[in-house]
Amino acid sequence: MNLAKSLYKYFNPHSLTHSWQVIAHEHAKLYLSRLRTALPKTCLLVALLLSMMNLMAQNSSETPSFLERTDFKLGYFGNLQSNHGLNLGTEYLWLEKVKVKERKNRQRTIKWQLLLNGSLGYSTNFATRTQNGIFAYSGLIFRRVNSKSWELSVELNPLGAYRSVLSNTYKVVGDDVTSVSFPGRTYYAPSVAIGTGRFRKEIKRSGWYLNLQYTLLTNYNTGELPIVSLNFGCKLNFSRK
């Protein structure tokens, strides 16, 4: 009889329901206890992640993009008399150092910049249709920019080449006379330049430049040929800012 009562008590549906309720309640208490313990750590971790993301966003916004650092140039290249040409170029701001000075109760900002420079152009003599040439050069620009955006620069281009383009040229091979494709000669042509200009970053397509350039054609008729030219035009910046 006692065994039957015990088995009935154990397998009683009401007793089973009560037991499951007790177990579920204990599990709920344990889960809430763990949640209270882990919640401050989780909030701290989320706050740290948000702070890191905010810091990264600030740094990315303060660092200029590639387009913001790059200016494109379009201008005249020649000596204003016999030789005229068109020059296409680009400048990339590599390094910049900003100095702020106090002058007469106002701040004066001076920027020292180091830029990478590259240009490609074509020049000719329109009167005689001779002296045609393609030039390309690349180097460094050392620039000073004052608080009114006026620029003074020194340009060094150790990498330079000039390709003379001749008119119709023929060559004799045996008994045959054939035309020469792309006739001319290539010269190593380093150059230096000094210049000025102005460019406001907050106003697009408002920049201009004026350079006096000295180029040396080496191995030109067993010698060197110096060329002094003017280079002036406008600057373009295609950044969104």
Give the residue with greater pLDDT, 16 vs 210: 210
* Per-residue model confidence (pLDDT) at position 133: 85
- Tell me what the pLDDT averaged over the chain comes to: 76
First to last CA, the chain: 93
Give residue-wise pLDDT tens across range 149-167: 899 999 999 999 998 887 7
**Pair (45, 83) in one structural domain:** no
* Per-residue model confidence (pLDDT) at position 196: 94
Measured CA to CA, the distance from residue 73 to residue 135 in angstroms comes to 15
**Pair (69, 49) in one structural domain:** no
Q: Is residue 104 part of a domain?
A: yes
* Per-residue model confidence (pLDDT) at position 59: 45
Give the residue with greater pLDDT, 107 vs 144: 144
Amino acid at 147: S
Query: What total number of domains does the chain contain?
Result: 2
**Pair (138, 204) in one structural domain:** yes
**Pair (111, 49) in one structural domain:** no
**Pair (54, 87) in one structural domain:** no
**Pair (194, 163) in one structural domain:** yes
**Pair (48, 97) in one structural domain:** no
Q: How confident is the model at residue 16 (pLDDT cuts 50, 70, 90)?
A: very low
**Pair (40, 78) in one structural domain:** no
Give residue-wise pLDDT tens across range 127-141: 666 678 889 999 999
Domain carrying residue 38 = 2-61
* Per-residue model confidence (pLDDT) at position 191: 94
146 φ/ψ angles, rounded to the nearest 5 degrees: -90, -175
* Rounded (5°) CA angle 112-66-73: 70
pTM given for the model: 0.66
Instruction: Over range 97-118, report the average pLDDT.
Output: 85
Measured CA to CA, the distance from residue 95 to residue 111 in angstroms comes to 10
* Per-residue model confidence (pLDDT) at position 120: 93
**Pair (76, 124) in one structural domain:** yes
Tokens of 157: 């281009």
Instruction: Over range 187-209, report the average pLDDT.
Output: 82
Q: How confident is the model at residue 206 (pLDDT cuts 50, 70, 90)?
A: low
Q: Which of 33, 61, 89 is the last residue of a domain?
A: 61
